[in-house]
Amino acid sequence: MKKVVLAVVLIGIAVIIGAPFANGLIMERVVKQACTDINKLYADTGHDLSIEIVDYRRGYASSQIKWKIALGKMQKIYGIEDIIVVDEAKHGYTGVVSKSSLAENKWFTALVDKKLNGRNPVDITTRYALLGNIESTVVLDAFSLHEGKDVMEIKPGKMVITCAKGLRSFSSQGSWDGLTVVDQLNLDGVSFFSDMEMISSYIWDGNGSVSVAHAKATANNELVEISNLTFGFAMDFEKTGNTVSVGADYGADHVIIEDKSIDNAFVRIGVNRMDAQGYENLVKIYSQMVNDTMSNMARAQNDPEKMQAALQKQMIANGLQLVTAFEKMLKNGLEIQISDLKASLPEGQVQGAVVLSLKKDMTMAQFFPIISQPKLALEIFALQSDLSLPASLVGDDPKLFAPLYPGMQTGLFEQKGKSIVHKAETRDGKLFLNGREVILD
């Protein structure tokens, strides 16, 4: 019995002694794999950014890693140097904690020494878990920047980013108290979050949001002020139908632009049930166009005429590709939606929604006959729209209230009290506008 107890004790001591070293080995594997995964993602999406481990020194209870973030074309376009990050990691018993430094970057040390009185306001801590998850916490302390007579007060903030093993998912959350430039700009109460799962290099599933409690800017005696500004986004991958839906919503409690004001504004925009392969092809081509544009900018940085000629040539070359990629998304069920549109204006309320969807698979060529045979549109599209505006916003333009085509029995809008309203829908193979059928023969 004593031998068993002694063996258990010895094994426990060995585990305790060896844990920091073992965790250092695990961290090295996780770090190198994460570097490979990130570079693969950049390459797959056509970006020339990359991360390189310049030096990795692993010890018993600590490690030092030097990274280089290569910015590719951006380095030449914007004159930005590659970023060097040095991690000092401490091996613990349940994981590894690392502190990151930017001190080997001349631009950063110059900023700290000359502008911030030698005080570094950025603290970066990364935790590497035994299961391969990585969590980075960035803390920003308050500091001031002086540019001539202007003083920018940067307020404190915090951001936490979590990455699952193999880049399977990313999540982030954070808050920032904002910044102030006296008599010019004030930004307060910024917060954000995101939670995304990778389906492919271009397709993710999840959602996120950004909110700003208050923003105010003044320039040339013009005022812009916004309270409780919100932006949300979502991407949904539906495996059964192999479709992707993307959406965004925008809102604000109060907006002032010069002498005009808007209250309780909101709108949600979505493109639903896109063919996943078609969506991926379209984004891939668009990404390549952006990268080609940056390459042209880098090559013709000081020659506007050369840049313009290169961009025109690029648009001609990529235009057909974009059309072809877009055509692959024209599948039954594709839907464009604007919903929950609302705003309170001094003149009255704005409300509206529009849903337009495809009833069958289409090619671009199949749309052309609609020009001479409008009734064919009823076999292709389903439509439902509803809009109400204060009449004083649009005046008495007769084009809004009179039939524009022989088959219309009403104008696009009708007057109802102090509002003008519009309602359209397809039903039973017919189009109805403001309650009356539109004859499309």
Alpha carbons 32 and 40: distance in angstroms, whole number: 12
Task: Of 283, 148, 269, 139, give the one whose Cα is nearest residue 204.
Answer: 283
As a whole number, mean pLDDT of residues 183-190 equals: 92
Residue 136: CB atoms within 10 Å: 17
3-class SS at 216? strand
Q: Give the residue extent of every domain in the chain.
A: 1-168
Q: Tens of pLDDT along 358-403?
A: 999 998 889 999 888 889 999 999 999 999 999 888 877 778 888 8
- Report the pLDDT value the prediction gives residue 11, as an integer from 0 to 100: 39
Residue ranges of the alpha helices (H) in 272-408? 276-299, 304-327, 377-380, 398-401
Scan for tokens 């258990």, then name that residue.
8
Q: If you average pLDDT over each of 7-11, 414-418, 422-426, which comes out highest?
A: 422-426
CB 267 within 8 A of CB 306: no
- Report the pLDDT value the prediction gives residue 12, as an integer from 0 to 100: 40
Q: pTM of the entire structure?
A: 0.84
CB 103 within 8 A of CB 86: yes
